[in-house]
């Protein structure tokens, strides 16, 4: 089946640094990618939707200047957490979809810990 690779799987960094997370679709072209955040023992919260070649659409309450999303190609989207703080520590999951009406395929997630 379709594979989505997310990297890194885990990152620990100091407060104030920026962290980039990559999401790649390995065997299909993903016109749309989604970024979710998952708090402990909670469900996934959609942060933003990105379409290849255009600006991401952010959900209400998500700071677009803090969570920079780039979807420059049909196989790669990146999420950059800028000036990260401990409250940004979370599990971030991406998903990718070939087109409208197609299923979403999820990456394995990135556990971000800000010290």
Partner 1 sequence: GDSVTQMEGPVTLSEEAFLTINCTYTATGYPSLFWYVQYPGEGLQLLLKATKADDKGSNKGFEATYRKETTSFHLEKGSVQVSDSAVYFCALLIGTGANNLFFGTGTRLTVIP
The Cβ of residue 109 has, within 10 Å, a number of other Cβ atoms equal to 18
Q: 47 burial class (0-12, 13-18, 19+ CB within 10 angstroms)?
A: buried
The binder of partner 1 chosen from 46, 62, 74, 76 (CB under 8 A): 46
Pick out residues in 50-89 that bind partner 1 (CB under 8 A). Answer: 57
113 contributes a contact to partner 1 by CB under 8 A:
no
Of 15, 72, 85, 108, the one binding partner 1 by CB under 8 A: 108
In the complex, which residues of this chain contact partner 1 (CB under 8 A)?
4, 6, 9, 32, 34, 41-44, 46, 49, 57, 93, 95, 100-101, 103-109, 111
């Amino acid at each position: 089946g379709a594979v989505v690779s997310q990297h890194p799987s885990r990152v620990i960094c100091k407060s104030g640094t920026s962290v980039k997370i990559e999401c790649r679709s390995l065997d299909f072209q993903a016109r749309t990618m989604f970024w979710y955040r998952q708090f402990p023992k909670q469900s996934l919260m959609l942060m933003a939707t990105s379409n290849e070649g255009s600006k991401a659409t952010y959900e209400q309450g998500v700071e677009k200047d803090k969570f920079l999303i780039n979807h420059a190609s049909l196989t790669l989207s990146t999420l950059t957490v800028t000036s990260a703080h401990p409250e940004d520590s979370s599990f971030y999951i991406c998903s990718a979809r070939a087109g409208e009406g197609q299923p979403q395929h999820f990456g394995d997630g990135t556990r971000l810990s800000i010290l």
